[in-house]
């Protein structure tokens, strides 16, 4: 099975733990080299967050477990890069 190098998630989380705490928890997982959490939307009880994780061999089940333990839920997996290297998306004339 090919290793996951990058995954982008749409997550709905409560206000606590903070983005800093959630990011740090995800960053401690084996195979994770970096985490980026971006606040997208806030309401009275929840926050919508885009989480990008890069690494050498990301275990999605462990990522999802950390997110669930924080009281959050994955709304969608928006992007996944796997294989020996990350292939960046390329714009084509149809995208303009």
Q: List per-residue pLDDT tens for the chain, 96 residues long.
A: 689 999 999 999 999 999 999 999 999 999 999 999 999 999 999 999 999 999 999 999 999 999 999 999 999 999 999 999 889 888 898 887
CA-to-CA separations, 6 to 36, 43, 58, in angstroms, rounded: 11, 28, 8
Say what the pLDDT of residue 42 is.
Answer: 96
Which domains can be identified in the chain, with CATH numbers? 4-82 (3.30.70.1340)
């Amino acid at each position: 099975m090919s290793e996951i190098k990058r995954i982008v998630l749409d997550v709905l989380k409560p206000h606590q733990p903070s983005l800093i705490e959630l990011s740090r928890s995800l960053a401690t997982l084996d195979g994770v080299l970096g985490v980026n959490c971006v606040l997208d939307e806030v309401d009275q009880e929840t926050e919508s967050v885009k989480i990008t994780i890069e690494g050498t061999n990301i275990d999605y089940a462990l990522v999802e477990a950390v997110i669930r333990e924080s009281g959050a839920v994955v709304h969608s997996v928006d992007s996944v890069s796997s294989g020996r290297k990350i292939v960046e998306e390329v714009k084509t004339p149809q995208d303009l």
